Amino acid sequence: MSSLKGKSVLVTGATGSFGQEFLRQLLHANEVEQITVFSRDELKQFEMRAEFSSPKIKYLLGDVRDYKRVLQATVDVDIVIHAAAMKQIPAAEQNPMEAIKTNILGAENIVNAAIANKVRKVVALSTDKAANPANLYGATKLCSDKLMIAGNYLSDGTETAFSVVRYGNVLGSRGSVIPFFKEKALAGKIPITDVRMTRFWLTLTQGVNLVMRAIDSMYGGEIYVPKIPSFKVTDVARIVAPGIPTYEIGIRPGEKLHEVMITEDDSFFTKEFDHFYTILAPNLIETKAYEEKGKKVAEGFTYRSDTNPLWFTDETFTALLKQISLI
């Protein structure tokens, strides 16, 4: 984390699972000068103070929907990690304008405030559901990604750079399927939407590491996609709750059988590296910043959870869950 030495970092949605893990690692590295927790839930901030009481942390209540407050919060900030979002798919479907206000208009506020206050770098968290979106949540996150990448044009001539990290299901995060499976196992049966369903899986630590990689290497205009393993949802249930039968309930509206993180159309602009891919914005192609970096993927390449060459085995998935104390 040497690139953060002496820097002021603001994290939106910092009371969430990612934000807390990110803060934990920042404090452990002890490189940053100041960390600003920016979120709208005063109870969660109160609870966080009990664990994170470092004098380096400043707690600010505010909503990314409120441009004036975002503008105030980003004064003298070097790096913004934008993790705030409305993430629950059913809630977004039933309250579409609320999702749009938070995920899209909130992202616009971050872009404009960062440029106005000359923030050096902005890294926004995205989701596999933003690629070929099948629900409103995914569609709003795709719009958010586009706004962030376009921020590099709006900031032309300034020092502000914007990039995105996109990844799959986070083990141990709030809303993760694992606590749900454990709860249903107590009733004697676990509902599965479709036995063929696959997903990408990673840990909170891996998510934080990807963000740090982006901060270290970004020019502005990249969408970073990690190489992470796939696993069938039925296999997750079997390992989390061994011996508990499952029953199929069918795919719900807005749900995908398999997730996609890089589409066929993205393949024309995607470079492969040892541990990740980057989808490049036009500005990076025009400036040839990546001409000598990485390996261009083949035309028609897709990165899908069902055709992913990297898969968990029962043993590796079990070991990972034990490592992060989920079983």
Q: How far apart are CA 154 and CA 207, in angstroms?
A: 28
Band of pLDDT at residue 56, cut at 50, 70 and 90: very high
Q: What is the DSSP letter of 248?
A: E
Count how many domains the chain has: 1
Report yes or no on 145 lying in a domain: yes
Which residues neighbour 311 within 8 Å (Cβ) at sequence distance 6 or greater?
229, 230, 231
Q: Is the pTM of this model over 0.85?
A: yes
CATH of the domain at 277: 3.40.50.720
Report yes or no on 69 lying in a domain: yes
Quick one: pLDDT at residue 102? 98
Quick one: pLDDT at residue 53? 84
From residue 305, alpha-carbon distances to 33, 170, 197, 263, 301 in Å are: 39, 14, 9, 12, 13
Domain residue limits at 18? 2-168+203-226+261-304
Helix/strand/coil for 77: coil
Helices (H), 102-253: 106-116, 136-154, 177-185, 204-217, 233-240
Maximum separation of any 2 CA atoms in the chain, in Å = 61
From residue 273, alpha-carbon distances to 109, 249, 307 in Å are: 32, 39, 18
DSSP string of 270-305?
EEE-SSEEEEEPHHHHHTTTTTTSSEEPPTT--EET
Quick one: pLDDT at residue 254? 86
Q: How far apart are CA 285 and CA 269, in angstroms?
A: 8
Report yes or no on 240 lying in a domain: no
Quick one: pLDDT at residue 46? 95
Q: Is 129 a catalytic residue?
A: yes
Report yes or no on 34 lying in a domain: yes
Report yes or no on 149 lying in a domain: yes
From residue 3, alpha-carbon distances to 79, 118, 121, 217 in Å are: 10, 18, 11, 10
Q: Out of 7, 87, 121, 129, pick the active-site residue.
A: 129
pLDDT digits (tens, 9 = 90+) for 259-295: 999 999 999 999 999 999 999 999 899 889 999 999 9
pLDDT digits (tens, 9 = 90+) for 113-127: 999 999 999 999 999
Q: Is 195 exposed, middle or buried (0-12, 13-18, 19+ CB in 10 A)?
A: exposed
